[in-house]
Every structure is written in C-alpha cells, then in structure tokens.
C-alpha cells in the first residue's frame, strides 16, 4: 500500500481505495515534499513531516475546532474542494504489529487521519466539502493556489 500511495502521489491510502475490505490505512507526509512548499503555506496548514505508519481499526475523537482547507483525493482524481476538519484529533488504533497505540495529532496530520478514517467508514471528502469550492486542479492552480484561506473564503462568500 505504501508503494501505491507514493506512486500516486499521496499522503495517505485506505484499504477500501484499493479494493481491500479492511479497516487499515497507511500514512506518510515526507519532509522532502513539505520542504518544497512555501513557508507561509506550510505554516497556515500546520504541515509537518509524518513518518510512514499503519493504522488498523482506528477510533477517531475530534479534539479541536474545525478549519477549512482545500483537499484532494486519489479516489476523486483531478479535483479539489474546501473541507472543514478538526485541527486536533486523537486516534486509538493498532499499529502494523497489532499493538495498541494512541495518536495525538494536530494540523495537517490531523486532517490526513480524518480523511483516511472517513474512507474506512465509506465517506469521501466530497461528502463533507463546501460545495461551492469544488473545482478541477487546473482551475485551482490558475486562480486559488496562491491565496490564503481567508482570501479564498471571502471570495467564495462574495466579499
């Protein structure tokens, strides 16, 4: 699964995305990818490196206020939309050795966990998106990628 996720490329992959009926996901957000992003972009999203790991049978607890950012998905290739997600979460799960672990995550890592656990529960980001923000990647790159989320929300709200 890691190979498939990295080839896509993505930062997470849930077993149901590749036809496996398992409560399992793999996650990795490597520093070399993050370091290519502008510093203000990384800071706004609280995006820090996440080592490769496996979560099995996760139980998610939302622990922070929600904030919206653009998300994409390997299951809905070529599109993006704003999704509100909690800034902090707790995940109780098993690791790849079937050992119980608790993950306390914040920022972008919390978003990745919520996104992948949604897949395990049959939910896609398009089920949670702000509908008006749904667009193709080309449109996003041309008009939105350099805007802050505050500017984006103001524009979408007609302000």
Could you give the residue numbers annotated as active site? 116
Asked whether 104 and 90 are in contact (CB, 8 A), the reply is yes
Burial of 89 from C-beta contacts in 10 A (0-12 / 13-18 / 19+): buried
DSSP string, 96-153: TTS-EEEEEEEHHHHHHHHHHHHHHTT--GGGTB-GGG-EEHHHHHHHTTTS-HHHHH
């Amino acid at each position: 699964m890691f190979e498939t996720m990295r080839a896509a490329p993505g930062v997470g992959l849930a077993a149901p995305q590749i036809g496996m009926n398992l409560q399992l996901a793999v996650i990795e957000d490597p520093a070399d990818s993050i370091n290519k992003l502008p510093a203000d972009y990384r800071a706004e999203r609280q995006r820090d490196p996440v080592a490769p790991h496996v979560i099995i049978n996760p139980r998610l607890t939302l622990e922070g206020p929600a904030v919206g950012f653009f998300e994409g998905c390997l299951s809905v290739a070529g599109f993006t939309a704003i999704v509100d997600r909690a800034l902090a979460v707790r995940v109780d799960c098993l690791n790849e050795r079937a050992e119980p672990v608790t993950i306390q995550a914040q920022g972008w890592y919390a978003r990745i966990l919520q996104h992948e656990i949604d897949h395990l529960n049959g939910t896609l980001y398009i089920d949670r998106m702000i509908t008006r923000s749904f667009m193709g990647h080309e449109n996003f790159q041309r008009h939105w990628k350099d805007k802050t989320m505050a500017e984006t929300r103001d524009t979408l709200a007609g302000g």
